[in-house]
């Protein structure tokens, strides 16, 4: 069964995210537990949390993902930022536990001069500081790889998994992978990229896909999302990706823009049109 949905708001209470997802005709999704631009702990009302769990179960919407704050930097060599990042991640994990959410998604962050190897070790040791609740899994998201940001290369993801004691899994962002140099614009490119991911990381540990087209060329390291099929990955690439046997059972979460009179509902419908046999 195709699982596709969008990043949704928790305005007015986290339980409202389920109704919003259903408005998009989605059946899985992602939320921020608070504004991603500030250091802030989730403030989730217990009654709203119970309603979120019940509504998700009743409507068969899931899995859900919490996306961590944009300020989190697991790779940082700076002690104060490291501690804030660990504390923020712990709060997200605890919120996921209260909400019955399976995944907390995070970018590795930037090494800011410490070097790639040290940055990856910093991320692994930061993950080791976390107390991950039963039933919750940390997802490391692939990155576009600009500047000193890590996670743009698949071997970065594999290295962190090798160095951490946590049982982590992964989220592949199609726009990020494309920006990082993995060409998803053709069926052959999709085959090659997923084969490389399987060889380096392992498709068995791919728990989620952020399905986004790209406004910029492959390998530019520029992260700007486009409507599905309307960017430089294009319809041929997106068609090949959503129908690829390797990801047919992986939830697809949209982070596409709201512009040109189109939003998440349009993109969810587009994915369903592209998908064969669902």
pLDDT value, residue 43: 87
Percentage of residues in the chain having pLDDT higher than 90? 97
Percentage of residues in the chain having pLDDT higher than 70? 100
Distance (Å, rounded) from C-alpha 53 to C-alpha 47?
10
Q: What is the pLDDT of residues 147-171, one digit of tens each?
A: 999 999 999 999 999 999 999 999 9
pLDDT value, residue 277: 79
- 209-219: average pLDDT: 98
Q: What is the pLDDT of residues 98-130, one digit of tens each?
A: 999 999 999 999 999 999 999 999 999 999 999
Question: Has residue 66 got a pLDDT over 90?
Answer: yes
**CA 214 vs CA 26, 204, 206, 224, 244: distances in Å:** 21, 26, 21, 6, 19
- What's the longest Cα–Cα distance across the chain? 51
Instruction: Enumerate the H helices of the chain as residue ranges.
Output: 16-23, 46-59, 79-99, 116-128, 154-163, 174-179, 187-200, 234-242, 264-274
Q: What is the pLDDT of residues 168-200, one digit of tens each?
A: 999 999 999 999 999 999 999 999 999 999 999
Question: Has residue 249 got a pLDDT over 90?
Answer: yes
Query: What's domain 4-274's superfamily in CATH?
Result: Divalent-metal-dependent TIM barrel enzymes (3.20.20.150)
Q: Tell me the domain boundaries of the chain.
A: 4-274
Q: Say how many C-beta atoms besides its own lie within 10 A of residue 277's C-beta.
A: 6
**CA 60 vs CA 21, 54, 57, 69: distances in Å:** 11, 10, 5, 27
Question: Has residue 278 got a pLDDT over 80?
Answer: no
């Amino acid at each position: 069964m195709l699982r596709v949905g969008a990043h949704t708001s928790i305005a007015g209470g986290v339980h409202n995210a389920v109704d919003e997802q259903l408005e998009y005709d989605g059946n899985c999704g992602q939320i921020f537990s608070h504004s991603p631009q500030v250091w802030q702990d989730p403030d989730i009302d217990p009654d709203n949390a119970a309603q979120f769990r019940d509504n998700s179960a009743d409507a068969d919407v899931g899995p859900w993902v919490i996306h961590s704050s944009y300020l989190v930097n697991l790779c940082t060599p700076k002690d104060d930022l490291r501690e804030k990042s660990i504390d923020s991640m712990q709060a997200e994990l605890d919120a996921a536990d209260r909400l019955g959410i399976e995944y907390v998604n995070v970018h590795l962050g930037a090494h800011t001069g410490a070097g790639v190897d040290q940055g990856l070790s910093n991320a692994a040791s930061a993950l080791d500081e976390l107390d991950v609740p039963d039933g919750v899994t940390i997802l490391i998201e692939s990155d576009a790889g600009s500047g000193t940001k890590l996670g743009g290369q698949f071997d970065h993801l594999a290295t962190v998994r090798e160095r951490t004691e946590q049982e982590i899994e992964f989220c592949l962002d199609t726009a990020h992978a494309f920006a990082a140099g993995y060409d998803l614009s053709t069926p052959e490119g999709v085959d090659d990229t997923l084969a490389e991911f399987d060889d380096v990381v392992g498709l068995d540990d791919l728990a989620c896909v952020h399905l986004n087209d790209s406004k910029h060329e492959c390998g530019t390291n520029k992260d700007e999302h486009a409507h599905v099929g309307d960017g430089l990955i294009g319809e041929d690439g997106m068609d090949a990706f959503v129908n690829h046997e390797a990801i047919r059972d992986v939830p697809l979460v949209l982070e596409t823009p709201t512009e040109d009179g189109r939003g998440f509902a349009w993109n969810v419908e587009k994915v369903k049109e592209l998908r064969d046999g669902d």
